[in-house]
């Protein structure tokens, strides 16, 4: 599906792409509401009814991904809460094999994540994946998330790349659409970001459940 000889740079998303999104989904949908309920003398459903509109309002903004923002907004130590359930942080099947193959090639491999630096550090601490990348970039260094159409021009100032020779692998359709609009030629969608949920049907892009399907030779 991919002619690796035509690609110089590989941008890889983290949550849902290399790592199982179950950690993040469980954290925001279950664990944070549970702790918020206990801290505010609420039942679980009431906590979710308060929190979920706040989450939805923030989606697509830098605030949604910001550990410090939610710590202040909810009066909870979000970084500590993530560490409480760090055992749920898991690498997707074949992701490490894929990274090893890329590392032995001439491709430049860059982790490109919307995750806050504190989340990125925690996940690298648990997974030990950092040595597989030539560079790791959190969008918090840039100031706009990947789904924002201005992101890619801003990224060029940090990490120059030829859009015709770049591959992006991501699980977010809004990010994939943004990359396509910018002109990134090679785009792959992850259909099974959360191991506890059914795979999504994606028709507009090359779509894979795991990296075994696009392994470099």
Q: What is the pLDDT of residues 8-29, one digit of tens each?
A: 999 999 999 999 999 999 999 9
pLDDT of residue 116: 96
Residue 183 Rama label (left phi>0; alpha psi -120 to 50; beta): left
173, 209: one domain:
yes
Q: What is the pLDDT of residues 172-182, one digit of tens each?
A: 999 999 999 99
215 near 94, Cβ under 8 Å?
yes
- The whole-number pLDDT of residue 194 equals 98
Within 13 Å, how many C-alpha atoms sit on residue 26's CB side?
A: 18
Residues 29 and 136 in one domain: no
State the average pLDDT over residues 87-101: 97
The answer on 128 and 64 residing in a single domain is: no
- pLDDT tens string 32-61: 999 999 999 999 999 999 999 999 999 989
Mean of pLDDT values over 115-128 = 98
Based on the fold, state whether residues 16 and 29 are members of the same structural domain.
Answer: no
- 83 confidence band (pLDDT: 50, 70, 90): very high
Q: What is the pTM of this model?
A: 0.96
Phi/psi for 185 (5° steps) reads: -80, -40
Cβ of 216: how many Cβ atoms within 10 Å?
A: 15
Q: Are residues 158 and 131 in the same domain?
A: yes
Q: Which domain holds residue 144?
A: 4-20+90-214
Distance in angstroms (rounded) separating the CA atoms of residues 96 and 98: 5
Asked if residue 186 and residue 121 are part of one domain, the reply reads yes
Q: What pLDDT band is residue 106 in, cutting at 50, 70 and 90?
A: confident
> Which segments of the chain are extended strands (E)?
9-12, 108-113, 135-138, 166-170, 186-190, 206-208
Whether residue 217 is predicted with pLDDT greater than 80 in this model: the reply is no
- The whole-number pLDDT of residue 137 equals 98
- Percentage of residues of the chain with pLDDT beyond 90: 95
């Amino acid at each position: 599906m991919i002619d690796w000889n035509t690609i110089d740079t590989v941008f890889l998303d983290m949550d849902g792409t290399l790592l199982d999104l179950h950690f993040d989904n469980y954290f925001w949908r279950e664990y944070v509401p549970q702790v918020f309920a206990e801290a505010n003398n609420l039942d679980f459903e009431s906590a979710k009814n308060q929190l979920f509109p706040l989450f939805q309002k923030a989606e697509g903004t830098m605030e949604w991904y910001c550990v410090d923002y939610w710590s202040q907004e909810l009066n909870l130590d979000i970084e500590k809460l993530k560490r409480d359930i760090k055992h749920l942080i898991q690498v997707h099947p074949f992701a490490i094999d894929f990274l090893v193959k890329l590392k032995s090639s001439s491709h430049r491999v860059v982790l490109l994540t919307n995750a806050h630096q504190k989340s990125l550090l925690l996940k690298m601490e648990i997974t030990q994946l950092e040595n597989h990348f030539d560079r790791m970039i959190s969008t918090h260094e840039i100031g706009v998330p990947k789904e924002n159409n201005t992101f890619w021009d801003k990224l060029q100032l940090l990490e120059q790349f030829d859009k015709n020779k770049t591959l992006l692998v991501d699980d977010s359709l809004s990010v994939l659409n943004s990359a396509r609009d910018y002109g990134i030629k090679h785009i792959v969608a992850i259909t099974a970001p959360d191991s506890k949920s059914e795979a999504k049907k994606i028709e507009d892009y090359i779509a894979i459940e795991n990296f075994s399907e696009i392994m470099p030779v």
